[in-house]
Structure 1
Amino acid sequence: MLEKRGKSPDGPNQQDAESVAIEALGFLAGDAALLSRFLALSGLEANDLRAAASDPAFFAGLLDFFLAHEGTLNAFAAASAIAPERVAAARRALGGRYEDVPH
């Protein structure tokens, strides 16, 4: 489980952001219905997840999935004992084009 940490002035670094995404992947894998929804939306097959997780863009897309649905985001945040805002900050730290994340 991720430990709660204070927010640095610059937000999470790449390693912290990837740690949040890895925790999110574990949460996703533990919920068959959620995993099925993610696979359907992403176009990935279950046996492709391990290979996809080696691509940094996968983590950004994974966090996008959580941030796109408040209920999913809140369930993950509660189960992981982290603030939803930390998930959004991790997503921003991963970079990319998706900028409309909750603050």
Structure 2
Amino acid sequence: MNADRAETVAILALGWLASNDELGPVFLGSTGASAEDMRRGATDPAFLASVLEFLTMDDAWVTAFCDATGVGYDEPLRARYTLPGAEQVHWT
């Protein structure tokens, strides 16, 4: 997946979360982000990565997002690994 597609998937996820009355507040509470942070974050690849990190914590959330947006079920995680901060850490 290229970076443009990854950002598109993440922006779709951000919009879906912002409009989701049940999950949006959970995202805000768990990240400490504000509604203004969400608006500004749409242009920040690191923030978009955090959106996908949150979304991919639960298969039911991924399924609901993908069903609502037409995004492939594998794309949120692939997008997450394309955006900054998902590099594998080698401890040895």
TM-score normalised by L of structure 2: 0.85
Structure 2, unmatched stretches of 5+, are none
Aligned-partner Cα distance in 2 for 1:36–1:78: 21
**Structure 1, residues 7-59: CA drift from partner, whole Å, max 9, x if none?**
xxxxx111100000111111111112211000001101112211233321001
The aligned counterpart of 1:38 is 27
The aligned counterpart of 1:3 is none
C-alpha displacement of 1:98: 6.8
- Structure 1 runs (4+) deviating above 6 angstroms are none
Aligned-partner Cα distance in 2 for 1:24–1:68: 13
SS class of match (2:50): helix
Aligned-partner Cα distance in 2 for 1:82–1:52: 20
The aligned counterpart of 2:61 is 72
TM-score normalised by L of structure 1: 0.77
Aligned-partner Cα distance in 1 for 2:84–2:34: 25
What aligned pairs does 1:1-16 form with structure 2 within 5 A after superposition?
A: 12-16=1-5
**Root mean square deviation, CA, Å:** 1.5
C-alpha displacement of 1:75: 0.3
Aligned-partner Cα distance in 2 for 1:49–1:86: 21
Aligned-partner Cα distance in 2 for 1:93–1:43: 24
How many residues align? The count is 88
SS class of match (2:17): helix
Please tell me whether the aligned partners of residues 14 and 38 of structure 2 are also in contact (alpha carbons under 8 angstroms): no
Structure 1, unmatched stretches of 5+, are 1-11
